[in-house]
Structure 1
Amino acid sequence: MTQGRCPSCGADVEFTAGSAQVVVCSHCQTVVARKDADFEALGKIGRVVVTDSPLQVGAEGRYDGSAFQVVGHLQKDHGAGPWDEWYVEFADGRTGWVSESEGTVHLLFSGGVEEGLSLSDLHPGEKLRLRNRHWVVEERGHGKVIAAEGQLPSDVDPRADSWYVDATSSKGAIITLDFGVHASDPEVFIGARLKLEQLGIPPDQLRPRVRRKVDLKQARCTECNGPLELRAPDKSLRVGCPFCGALLDVSKGKLSFLRLLEKPEHAPLIPLGAKGTLRDTEWMCLGFLVRSCTVEGIRYPWEEYLLFNRSKGFVWLMNSQGHWVFLEPLAAGDVQLVPHVSAFFDGRRYKAYQNVHAVTENVQGEFYWEVTAGEYAEATEYVAPPYSINVDSTENEVSYTFGEYLAPEVVKEAFKLEAVPSPEGIVPSQPNPHKAKMLSTVLWSIGWLMLLLLVAGLFSATSLNKVVLDQQVTVPAEATPGTPSAMKFSEPFDLERRGNMKVYVAAGLMNDWMGIQGDLVNQETGEVVGFYEEVSLYQGSDSDGSWSEGSANGSLHLSALPAGKYVLRTTASYDPTPARVRNYTVRLTHDSPNGGWLCVAFVLLLLGPVFAFFRSHNFETRRWADSNLSE
């Protein structure tokens, strides 16, 4: 520990942190540097203002098995209100910086200087390979140190406008490139996103959260004097008056008029201040935006509702044509992006759907950033229904959100709304209502097919499949086709039980044809079952080579015949010229398995899946018809 007196006011100052090079006098705000055994005044710095951060100088905690203490505090501002950065020193000699943003804590450790890296080469949305990791640039900005307290590692210059670049990688990793006032060779700080509880600071060492704009709790619009009940005054930077449409700035702790906006066509469906439960969390509706894009001269508007929970921060609820999407912030580094082609996140592939230029048209309620009407952003959406990855980018910042489609009834129930508009058309991340039905239909069809195959197998196993007649017939040359002279009777044969009959006919043909008229005569009842089978075979050659047409054999199935003794009578028909001896064979197989019914049943079973497929496919066709990025 090094103790001494402030060179400016004479008050006691001391260095307890071994890594500290300067200390801010708590009495006169002089930045005091230690020079060997002497103290030197380096100028004055502003006094910190109370913010909503729970951290404070002197707080002690434990992270990654090592104890630390908060020894210094900087406040920076880029013109839209201050943010806090806390200097911490670990017992193992490490030092780091802690910052807080929208409910998430960032803990960063110095990684030295990265030589050869230029500020002009880094733009939001671009990929960066650094320190053996891939990063995605999320923000490029600048700010000045406006206030400080405690012990710090180096001098602070309130006149210097310092530039920084923030990027993220997978699994919560973050990196800040501090360029200072230079254009290259930044100091690198690498760390991770954490929850406040992970810092291990006892609750009694945390500062109670206070509302730094309590005087705005019951503020009034500077234009119409309408009451503005700010529900998160400690978080808000912009307020849109719901009465007159005035856009007001809150960053300086008081309301100041910016511009007058056109009022939306209708009031927000979710009233400002309304509370609703989604994802087991109670959210309050703080803000309402109307945004739109114009494609081929047609305006497409949608609504966005800003929801807030003190422990979980901010999320969005988007309404487009009666369709709702719940949107949560997402680190760019967690997404593998092929711009305008696809995105990969959490083991799922998202296909690029659309890329538009979105404009903010109307603002009501409170917002945590400097929202302005007329603000443009390039918006790209990647979908894997019911989920989506949404990328909004401006010149200096890119933000990613993870979306999930919600049924209108879910939103209606969550916020206890009297009614919500009925959905119209199809939106990008809307789940296909026919896809699940198609899968169910396919599964049922497969089940029935398996049953049919089982039945067919049983029939095949239990059938006789017995040849009861195999007869060779010779027709004399002098016989006349289709007359008794061309007729032949078989020997009697028995059918043991009722069953179908397969008839096989083969003839010795060459460039000829033959028709066989058969009659099965039940000798006990006299009942006759007839059939006719015609075969033909023609062969030859021409300029294209040899050819063949037809077949010298054929078969057919007869309906079930009752048991009994039968005789087969066959009569041959053929071309009588030239006159010659003709031969043919008739074979009868009793109780033969017939797969024809199985084929018919299979075709009928296919009708359901085919219909379901075309219905699902038609939905997807209509969905992607509005895409401007699909192939």
Structure 2
Amino acid sequence: MATGSQRVWRAACPNCGAPVEFASAASASAVCSFCRSTLLREGEALKRIGTSAELFDDHSPLQIGAAGKHLGAAFTVVGRQQLGYEGGTWNEWHVLFDGATEGGFKSGWLSEDNGAYVVAFDAPLTGPVPDPADLNPGERRVVAGAIWDVASVQRARVLAALGELPQAPRLDRGEFVVVDLRNQQGEVGTLDWRDPQQPNWSVGRSVRLADLAMSGLRSDESEKTLGGRAINCPSCGASLEPSLTTTQSIVCGQCKAVVDISQGVGGELKHYAQDNAGLPPLIPLGRSGTIALGDKIKPLPWQVVGYAERAEVDVEAGEEQATWREYLLYNRTEGFAFLVDAEDGWSYANPITGVPQLKDQRAVYQGTTYEQLYSYTGAVSYVLGEFYWRLKKGEKTRNTDFAAGTKRLNREQTGQEVTWSAGGALDSDAVAKAFGLGTVEAMAMKRDAKSLGGGKSLKFWLILLVVALVLISAFASCGEGGRDCSPLRDSFGEASNEYQQCLRSNSGSGLRTSGGSYGGFSTGGGGHK
């Protein structure tokens, strides 16, 4: 663990008199934790140059004072700045190392990246600097003498800051361009033009919070109390209470309107009604399960916080439309992951930092060669729960799927961002067991049977299958093998005709059915994320 600096420079805030500490001589600025004054260090004096807005709280377990180790070097979190863009917010945590790291750095950044984390260090920007107006997602460019793929181009602004920072956050400068780049070595590079004359350049790598041996993280209880975020649905007036403070979009449990809270909860909230009613998720929202999402990762507890139905769009006449369902999972130290329920089975997916090497319909990632399966356009058709990005009605994504045995890769482009994710196939029984699902739900999750055919939609056959399995299971259990009506009660309710009929049959002759084998549903199409 970090042991703290041997020498601390301390002065009084010129605005409120509270003590302000500098643990590093390299830190040129700080934000007073009492009055939020932005302070610039000038020799032996502090100069107040503005006031930082209050931080918008979020799900991150990090906080100033937390400590850890990276590549053998101990560090302490000493500052934080929060940035916002059209789709929401993200944090950059300033970390100070006890000694020089492998690259000789004394300070760096622990930043959020698609629900995960990246440790990055400022680096000299050598060679020609690209014009931000000429950069587009998906392009390949040379920056600082290396080849990079442009992952996203966003206009951002500094929203708030706290603690010790290498430079003054300058909230008065308004919007500036931030460009994220990825390379085949698994690195992420960031260019930002908050100073138009001298863009900043940093390079980092993805890290797992668990591997940083962190101490001093926020307690679990801090996530359960979200004071001031309970709001009313702007469509129907029902109460909305986000369970994660990182939530950017939340779905009303009563009218199913999608509400945008990415810009805070004050004023008129943007929202839209959903045009269709989707299927209930097979894994209930809020359910937690312990499962391993990767060969080298031990089973961890994951909670279902969001659910989305997606469909292929812009299909040609006569071509079958593929549909699939996604469950957004959350773990406090791992961030976010996805469970994907597609027509050829279940799989998981995690966003990755680097980019694969593409050549002749193949993708090479971490020594494995993946074959391209499908390229298609998708769109979200129905959502429930909460999401860490802003959901836009009718927004389309361009997707490409790759496979190598049970391993999966996916490239997704939405607007000004390209995201790669990696994962693998999962056994449906393992998923059902992990999340404590019953026999009926487990049977409905299988995808290993022949197509039911008939030209009906996935929704029609899935509903029919679930109802049939519930009835068969319930009626069979009411016979000589047992008188358990709980599946009907759980599926249709205690006052339902189905449940009451089962109870009545228990007191009479009972009903038996012949045995049979029931497989899962499959249209014979491909699996899509």
* TM-score, scaled relative to structure 1: 0.60
Counterparts in 2 of 1:226 and 1:391: CA distance versus 1, 3 Å? same
CA positional deviation for 1:391? 0.7
Deviation at 1:276, TM superposition (A): 4.0
Q: Relative contact order, CA 8 A, sep 6+: which one is greater?
A: 2
Q: How far is 1:378 from its partner?
A: 0.8
Pairing 1:424–2:522 present? yes
Residue identity in the other structure for 2:521? P
| Alignment partner of 2:391 out of 343, 352, 371 | 371
| Distance change >3 Å, CA 412–CA 220, structure 1 → 2 | farther
Quote the residue 1:307 is aligned against: 329
- Out of 238, 241, 244, the residue aligned to residue 233 of structure 1 is 244
Equivalent residue of 1:263, what SS? coil
Which of 23, 34, 46 matches 1:39? 46
Corresponding letter in the other structure for 1:105: Y
**RMSD between aligned residues:** 3.3
Cα distance in 1 for residues equivalent to 2:213 and 2:329 = 28
- Kindly indicate whether the alpha-carbon contact (under 8 Å) linking 2:410 and 2:422 is maintained by their aligned counterparts in 1: yes
- In 2, the alpha carbon distance for the partners of 1:29 and 1:104 equals 28
Q: 1:250 aligns to what?
A: 261
Task: Please state if 1:77 is matched with 2:89.
Answer: no
Work out whether residues 184 and 357 of structure 2, in 8 Å CA contact, stay in contact via their aligned partners in 1: no
- Over residues 345-369 of structure 1, what are the superposed CA-to-partner deviations in whole Å (9 max), with x where a residue is unaligned? 2333222222222122222211111
The 5 Å alignment of 1:554-565 reads none
Q: Distance in 1 between matches of 2:128 and 2:145?
A: 16
Of the three residues 317, 322, 328, the one matched with 1:296 is 317
1:139 alignment counterpart: 152
> What do residues 438-478 of structure 1 show as CA deviations (whole Å, max 9, x unaligned)?
xxxxxxxxxxxxxxxxxxxxxxxxxxxxxxxxxxxxxxxxx
Whole-angstrom CA distance in 2 between matches of 1:418 and 1:260? 32
Q: CA deviation at 1:375?
A: 0.8
Q: Cα deviation per residue 1:354-396 (whole Å; 9 max; x = unaligned)?
A: 2222122222211111122311111111233433311111231
- Superposed, which structure 2 residues align to 1:47-446 within 5 Å? 47-92=54-99, 94-101=106-113, 104-118=116-130, 119-131=132-144, 133-160=146-173, 161-170=175-184, 172-182=186-196, 186-201=199-214, 203-204=215-216, 210-211=222-223, 214-215=226-227, 221-225=233-237, 230=242, 232-252=243-263, 254=265, 256-279=269-292, 280-293=299-312, 294-296=315-317, 298=319, 299-321=321-343, 323-333=345-355, 336-338=356-358, 341-415=361-435, 417=442, 419-420=444-445, 422-428=520-526
CA distance, structure 1, for counterparts of residue 418 and residue 119 of structure 2: 21
Secondary structure of 2:444's counterpart equals: coil
Q: Are the equivalent residues in 1 in contact too, given 2:429–2:442 (CA < 8 A)?
A: no
2:24 is the counterpart of 1:17: yes
Query: Does residue 1:8 correspond to 2:15, yes or no?
Result: yes
- Listed one character per residue, the Cα deviations across residues 384-429 of structure 1 (whole Å, up to 9, x for unaligned) are 3433311111231111122433455454444454634723243436
Q: Measured at CA, do residues 114 and 159 of structure 1 come closer, stay the same or move farther in structure 2, by a change above 3 Å?
A: farther
State the secondary structure of the residue aligned to 1:113: coil
Shift of 1:122: 3.0
> 1:342 Cα shift?
1.4
Residues paired across the two proteins, number: 425
SS in 1 for 2:133: helix
CA contact (8 A) 1:62 1:199 kept: yes
- Residue 248 of structure 1 and its aligned partner are, at CA, apart by 1.1
Distance 1:225-1:20 versus aligned 2 partners, 3 A rule: same
Question: 1:423 corresponds to which letter in structure 2?
Answer: F
Task: In structure 2, give the amino acid aligned to 1:210.
Answer: S
Q: Quick one: distance in 2 between partners of 1:316 and 1:115?
A: 39
Structure 2 runs not aligned, ≥5 long? 1-7, 101-105, 293-298, 436-440, 447-519
For 1:426, the aligned partner's letter is: G
In the alignment, the residues of structure 2 paired with residue 209 and residue 366 of structure 1 have an alpha-carbon distance, to the nearest angstrom, of: 19
Q: Distance in 2 between matches of 1:224 and 1:18?
A: 54
- The alpha-carbon distance between structure 1 residues 239 and 18, as it changes in their structure 2 partners (threshold 3 A), is same
Alpha-carbon deviation of 1:167? Answer: 2.4
Equivalent residue letter for 2:420: Y
Q: Is the 8 A contact 1:405 1:429 kept in 2?
A: no
Distance 2:398 2:416 in 1: 12
C-alpha deviation, 1:252, in angstroms = 4.8
* Cα separation, 1, equivalents of 2:18 and 2:428: 64
Q: Percent identity?
A: 28
Report 1:401-550 matches (<5 A).
401-415=421-435, 417=442, 419-420=444-445, 422-428=520-526
Alpha-carbon distance between aligned partners in 1 of 2:112 and 2:257, rounded to the nearest angstrom: 30
- The alpha carbon displacement at 1:237 in A equals 1.5
Return the alpha-carbon distance in structure 1 between the equivalents of residues 443 and 289 of structure 2.
13
- Assess if the C-alpha contact under 8 Å between 2:410 and 2:421 holds in 1: yes
TM-score normalised per structure 2: 0.70
The whole-number CA distance in structure 1 between the counterparts of 2:305 and 2:360 is 32
Distance 2:145 2:127 in 1: 15
Q: CA deviation at 1:309?
A: 2.8
Residues of 2 paired with 1:328 and 1:82: CA distance?
A: 20
Cα–Cα, structure 1 residues 365 and 388, in superposed 2: closer, same or farther, change >3 Å? Answer: same
Instruction: Tell me how far 1:143 sits from its aligned partner.
Output: 1.9
SS at match of 1:371: coil
How far residue 95 of structure 1 moved from its aligned partner, in angstroms, is: 1.9
Asked if the contact 1:362/1:373 (under 8 Å) is kept, the reply is no
Go from structure 1 to structure 2 and tell me whether the alpha carbon gap of 1:15 and 1:219 turns closer, same or farther (over 3 Å shift): closer
**Counterpart of 1:370 in structure 2: which amino acid?**
R
Looking at structure 2, the residues matched to 208 and 409 of structure 1 have their Cα atoms a distance apart, in angstroms, of: 30
Deviations for 1:225-250, whole angstroms, at most 9, x for unmatched residues? 556675x4223211223542311123
- 8 Å CA contact 2:235–2:271 kept in 1: the answer is no
Any idea what SS the aligned residue of 2:371 has?
strand
Structure with the higher strand share, 1 or 2:
1
Could you tell me how far apart the structure 2 residues matched to 1:267 and 1:351 are?
Answer: 33
Aligned partner of residue 419 in structure 2, secondary structure: strand
**SS of equivalent residue, structure 1 residue 402:** strand
> Equivalents in 1 of 2:204, 2:220: separation in Å?
26
